[in-house]
Structure 1
């Protein structure tokens, strides 16, 4: 065994010696090891080198293996890819978010909004799907600390300004790539050590203290003068002023220090700041929207001995933004999120094996500040600002002030026993424990009222109701108008009607319905416990790992066991032909969000009538208590996975053929019902399911001064019909049954469909509308069901130049996007007897077929030596370098698509 290790070490060191960068790394490590030994021997109580070591370390042969990782593809049985510092530095084309760089890997898909027009100025990371799962179903860890927001249920994909909630991302904090050392991405065969996800897993390791002191400062910028837009005008559009012409500025700055404190310890201090300011047209007025994201990392590392180390990490990453709705008055709102996470990790490497333990704490706070009233006026005189964009309703206001907090305390211990021999096989055992205590809080700071169901009445007397009612205001009184006319007004005469309408300054209207969400503070807690173990057997050219993960949470009160199995076969025992198979189960997390929803007091409906043109008081509707959520009989959703992988070492790289199947089962759906007191209830059930399949061909290689990654994937993702709430029945434009359960989350889905004339081959395009829930809208999207995606990326160093590029092809698909507009539909409800059947306004989304497209991003860097005082790097990072269409604007629609854009940067390093 020792002889084998020695041969591997010598071969690795020989390869490292061939590269100057590796020589520098070896020298640094040797220097640090020597310093540690000298410091140890200098103590008067110790006379020999062996005295400096722990008892476990005296008999351990220590071999440092350094060498090239041939490519990101893991050649073991785990389905993972590793992105190192070099690749991270090459592919920072945009904001430098973590999710941006994942595009080079197979099985990674982005949301429909990835190339939308507002992404030019947004600094929020795109939602990412790994292995067909929604973004919040994948796991994200930073230095072993979970970075998942358990407040997220995928609503970030629906709308930014939610009516009864705060928009939250799947990641609690937005970490920038400038802080990252390596990224490990799993899409299959994920070890039992990891849990609480049903998609993929992303492990991020931040930068470590360097052996020698180093310092750096950088600045990057972009703006409207660095970007181009592609304007698309539909056949019905005549006003080019409606096309989006963004004016914006975006800057990024960072500074860091890394180096030793003593011979046994070191520190990393790094701060990064990203800001975007955008100037938009709001109903004819230019206003600014601003977003800011900050990352501050402090990492301290201390080596007690050659076997024992301590790492303390703190990450502070707040995000905030100031926004407004472009088509609404008095709609300014602000959001903030992110927070702080800290951890203390201890590691011991002994003769018997290794043990790593970690205690962490995170606190993430989300806030929304907005007007407390939202009103959908009829677009008539006095409330006619919707004329600016051709809307039917003039909207104003917002959805009130909300705070959501998320705190988590976690403790982990992971143990790996030293391998031992058994029946000519090498056996290794791993085991670990994880405990989490999660607390969530929802606090609506003030009552929020959403007014809908407007009624026009030219004679209405508003009385004391000044917010939700306007009286008719005339230029001249009716008597004065008739006196000028010389006769009474005849409202059956077209000319008299026109004369009367031109005399109206404000037309009378009032709201008959409203929805009230009362101020309320709700807090819930969930405890989670997990134990895992895996046994790996390495026999001849086979390696098999069998294990499992036990999980328990005190909300669902279930004892879940997730089996994990993976097997690798080195076909000819030469590391050239590798076959891997896996069968695994992964249980979802996001438990506290369900418990929080169950605890939140529902909104309730109120109505009022007018009597003799006098408004009556608001009265609680008979069925107006809104709906409760009940998840007490719900089980934990999970995904079953099968995978088959073949790898062949080709041209100095790895060729990979992969098949992956994921069946998500017992997905949480909602069933309408009533409790014992007759209140509307949405019961959580486990009827949902979906099927994901993917075929991937990939080849990746890493040479001395050049690396390349290519992959092409064909995927399908089918959602079972039982997962949907279903469309609401509509006849003659009237929708039924919307008052009790889903009223607060309904949206309008508008799409163009082909209608074929009976008995002929002629077709025509027809626009249809359906009323669905935001829950179903998330499933209607085909974000994670792209049939074919291909990626080609490569980077190279040439003298002082550093060049990289990424090409991505996406096949055609259906897509759904928010329009920012609202529309009204007629509702038939049993809110009150004698109420006028009115119309309510809901957000409008459009669905259309998006054509296939390909895009190219590129990066150019030039390094200027500073004659012993470090180096200066000039950079230009391009997105959509060939200015190609992204087909974000659908057929017959009008809008703007993102063309070419670039960043310019400068960085000093010493």
Structure 2
């Protein structure tokens, strides 16, 4: 009898009825579709835009640092070589590993696969940015010299916030690269990827070796009782920096104006201030000068880049960078001896990229002007005997003035074209062919503006 059905049987009947209802509904919908009752709509054209990543498979790379890795790793001073510690076959000079010079901001000198630090090829967007004017420095890293200036391997101090990737090649490097015996460090700048984006950041680090003083940096001074700590605290040399503060500011603005064009602008600066004694501790208060002076290290990066997709296969890119650096020093035990070492300069690049039937063609031209100069220096240096007025060095000569202004400048102009052909596959073998050429012009000068007397 229906009223005496078990509960489970009733549930099964309900499920069957529900299933039948669903089936009837689906059949009805199917009949509607078959009868052509649906509306016909035409969708607008959908365009997918992306960037093809080109990998040079014939090169042996020590490593590639992507944008994600750049952002996730400590930036340090923000220079390119500070990020390369994670890669094999990259060694740093002892000056970059010293804990007594935390206020310096110069790019680190590195050796790749045992080569000398000035035998590498540093590239920015495909062009050399090496300092070819006495990169090792005739007097090493000594900033106080009568004629020669301290050198460094990189002509531009590029902040990593500008970069999309860094690639290091240490062996089996393509003939497309030249001008090196160590390795290649290839840095590529970003381009606009957002409809609109803005970013600003600030970081600070500081150190004070004075016992009990606030310090973000922990100093470890091995004191044997021979006044090592006291000598360090009363340092008169930039080689020992018991006190410093460093500020880093980065900002950027980017916009994809439309589907074809984009622009990105960026500014960053690193400012370091290093208080030091300008005179020995045993000396009296100097006349017309400060006993304690603050040396400065100031680096600036101004960058502008635009890109325009003429067609889906042809793109134009243009960029301009101005990256000066100013390091301020003084001559020990000498009044009116402050001077600046100026380095860095300008770089402008125009690039065309064409994805053609044969493969991928890149044509680009570049202009750069880089300085390594001494400015704001007195033209004469005098050594006075100790007297009531010349009293700032009772144990020796009392210096005054500087060694004069010296200017070294390097101008580069390059034109490069490169065609990557599509891979040719023969069975298990894949062959990649590349053809190209490069023409370069370099003009270098050394100039002393005034006669100097000592």
Q: TM-score, normalised by structure 2?
A: 0.76
Indicate if the aligned counterparts of 2:59 and 2:174 stay in contact, CA closer than 8 A: no
Aligned to 2:122: 140
Query: C-alpha offsets along residues 73-101 of structure 1, whole Å, 9 cap, x if unaligned?
Result: x9865133101122212222521111111
Select which of 390, 408, 414 maps to 1:410: 414
Please give the alpha-carbon distance, in whole angstroms, between the structure 2 residues aligned to 1:171 and 1:87: 22
Query: C-alpha offsets along residues 335-393 of structure 1, whole Å, 9 cap, x if unaligned?
Result: 112111011100111112221100110112233132333456788998775567xxx66
Report how far residue 234 of structure 1 moved.
Answer: 5.7
Aligned to 2:159: 176
Q: Which has the higher strand share?
A: 1
Select which of 280, 287, 296 maps to 2:293: 287
Indicate if the aligned counterparts of 1:280 and 1:326 stay in contact, CA closer than 8 A: no
Structure 1 gaps of 5+ residues are 1-32, 38-62, 451-910
Aligned to 2:72: 90
Q: SS of the residue aligned with 1:217? A: strand
Aligned to 1:214: 197
Aligned to 1:348: 354
Distance 1:162 1:132, change over 3 A: farther
1:153 lines up with 2:141 in the alignment: no
Q: SS of the residue aligned with 1:228? A: coil
Please give the alpha-carbon distance, in whole angstroms, between the structure 2 residues aligned to 1:85 and 1:423: 36
Query: C-alpha offsets along residues 522-553 of structure 1, whole Å, 9 cap, x if unaligned?
Result: xxxxxxxxxxxxxxxxxxxxxxxxxxxxxxxx
Select which of 402, 405, 409 maps to 1:398: 402
Please give the alpha-carbon distance, in whole angstroms, between the structure 2 residues aligned to 1:105 and 1:295: 25
Indicate if the aligned counterparts of 1:181 and 1:205 stay in contact, CA closer than 8 A: yes
Select which of 138, 145, 157 maps to 1:162: 145
Select which of 418, 423, 445 maps to 1:419: 423
Select which of 236, 255, 269 maps to 2:251: 255
Query: C-alpha offsets along residues 646-672 of structure 1, whole Å, 9 cap, x if unaligned?
Result: xxxxxxxxxxxxxxxxxxxxxxxxxxx
- The residue correspondences of 1:264-283 to structure 2 (distance < 5 A) are 264-283=260-279
State the superposition RMSD in angstroms: 3.0
1:103 lines up with 2:85 in the alignment: yes
Please give the alpha-carbon distance, in whole angstroms, between the structure 2 residues aligned to 1:296 and 1:142: 14
Aligned to 2:98: 116
Aligned to 2:187: 204
Distance 1:79 1:115, change over 3 A: closer
Indicate if the aligned counterparts of 2:61 and 2:167 stay in contact, CA closer than 8 A: no
Distance 1:381 1:297, change over 3 A: same
Query: C-alpha offsets along residues 302-332 of structure 1, whole Å, 9 cap, x if unaligned?
Result: 1111211111111111111221134444421
Indicate if the aligned counterparts of 1:136 and 1:152 stay in contact, CA closer than 8 A: no
- The residue correspondences of 1:148-547 to structure 2 (distance < 5 A) are 148-155=130-137, 157-224=140-207, 225-233=215-223, 237=227, 240=230, 243=233, 244=235, 246-283=242-279, 285-369=291-375, 370-374=377-381, 385=392, 395-421=399-425, 425-450=429-454
Distance 1:423 1:233, change over 3 A: closer
Indicate if the aligned counterparts of 1:301 and 1:310 stay in contact, CA closer than 8 A: yes
Distance 1:237 1:319, change over 3 A: same
Please give the alpha-carbon distance, in whole angstroms, between the structure 1 residues aligned to 2:141 and 2:302: 30
Please give the alpha-carbon distance, in whole angstroms, between the structure 2 residues aligned to 1:315 and 1:241: 42
Distance 1:232 1:376, change over 3 A: farther
Please give the alpha-carbon distance, in whole angstroms, between the structure 2 residues aligned to 1:439 and 1:410: 12
Structure 2 gaps of 5+ residues are 1-44, 208-214, 236-240, 282-290
Indicate if the aligned counterparts of 1:134 and 1:154 stay in contact, CA closer than 8 A: no
Q: TM-score, normalised by structure 1?
A: 0.40
Please give the alpha-carbon distance, in whole angstroms, between the structure 1 residues aligned to 2:105 and 2:297: 7
- The residue correspondences of 1:20-31 to structure 2 (distance < 5 A) are none
Q: SS of the residue aligned with 1:103? A: helix
Distance 1:318 1:237, change over 3 A: same
Q: Report the number of matched residues.
A: 384
Indicate if the aligned counterparts of 2:200 and 2:252 stay in contact, CA closer than 8 A: yes
Distance 1:148 1:64, change over 3 A: closer
Please give the alpha-carbon distance, in whole angstroms, between the structure 2 residues aligned to 1:258 and 1:80: 31
Indicate if the aligned counterparts of 2:62 and 2:87 stay in contact, CA closer than 8 A: no
Distance 1:379 1:81, change over 3 A: farther
